[in-house]
Amino acid sequence: MVSTSTKQVNSTFRGDIMVELLGPGGNLEMVEAVFEAGADSVYCGVKGWSRRSKKYELDISQLREAVRIAHNHSGQLRAAVNAMPKAGEEGMFKNLLEELYSIEVDAIILNDIGLMKITNERYPDLKIVASIGSSILNKEEAKLYREAGASLLVADCKMSLEEIREIKEYAKIGIEVLIHANTDFTYLGRCWISSYKALKFDEIDGKAYYIGSPNRGGVCFRPCLLRWSLVGEKIYAKDFQLPNDMFLMLDEIPVLIDNGVDCLKIQGREYSVPLIRDIVKLYRNFIDEYLSKGSVNLEEYRVKLSLIAEKRDSERLRRTLELMKAAWEEKSEV
């Protein structure tokens, strides 16, 4: 979670403050619901090219419909292409990029700096977002990605407010912060432990798909949710559980807004549509109240958020089991 040095929420209101609320689109029903709940933009994974199970990705025809929904709501549609490509897939990416541009997606989410340069050279008017998988941690690295074409980067959950300010001011790049996500025992987007548990190669329409490695486009076996112990020179899944905590920000949001954060992102492509709708609607109301009044009743929203968190936690356990089951089914099919 992004660290802020203060919980003060009644700071001087500035009428020119703008912040984007970004929600997930795991399917077309969710895309519609998220915009109806008040999101400014929605991100969808491109089938075979994003860090999620193919069950929660969209093909080109579905993305075309998602773009239509977004634009009907005066919103924007981001296409996530943030799985690390296999060598030799640059040609496939260029073809995909042409399709995404032709259906008028508003932005593309990438973590490969080479693909960013290709995108920027071919379609300089297409907004590029550096995915959290890029693990940008300092101002010089941020500047490098900005020079490659990125205009917005997703901050690591462990990044402090001071680091965010420094990167934004030095690199002249927008900052996106996760307000609903899970933490990681390494840097979010850079975990490879699942591929040590099992790694199988497959293809989706000719695109390499590595089951067991979300970094390469496949599903994760969630080894962080197992319990581990060290016996002699061997590690067993038994007693020690790696951290995989979820969080829903609230107190930090006014501080982030006042310090110029450009986008607040909600994860959850795999959740149910009603749950994601409730989460987006709560944050929309919270942000609007703060921007219009310069202050907000935190206690009131804490109560509302705690009720949503209970539903989220219950659903997360069920969805995690479904994800792990799907991962093993995909593994057995190869």
Burial group, residue 310, by CB count within 10 angstroms (0-12, 13-18, 19+): exposed
Residue type, 323: L
> How far apart are the C-alpha atoms of 154 and 137, rounded to whole Å?
10
> How far apart are the C-alpha atoms of 160 and 152, rounded to whole Å?
17
Residue length of the chain? 334
Q: What is the DSSP-derived secondary structure letter of residue 54?
A: G
Could you read off the pLDDT of 46-92 as tens digits, one per residue?
998 887 777 889 999 999 999 999 999 999 999 999 887 777 888 99
> How far apart are the C-alpha atoms of 325 and 331, rounded to whole Å?
10
**Overall fold of domain 20-333:** TIM Barrel (3.20.20)
Compute how many other C-beta atoms are within 10 angstroms of the C-beta atom of residue 243. Answer: 9
What's the angle, vertex CA 171, arms to CA 168 and CA 173, rounded to 5? Answer: 55
Q: DSSP alpha helices (H): ranges in 19-77?
A: 28-36, 60-72
Residue keyed to tokens 């609230």: 250
Could you read off the pLDDT of 131-176 as tens digits, one per residue?
988 889 899 999 999 999 999 999 987 788 999 999 999 999 999 9
Could you read off the pLDDT of 109-133 as tens digits, one per residue?
998 999 999 999 999 999 999 998 8
Closest by CA to 126, choosing from 150, 95, 159, is 150
Could you read off the pLDDT of 251-282 as tens digits, one per residue?
999 999 999 999 999 999 989 999 999 999 99
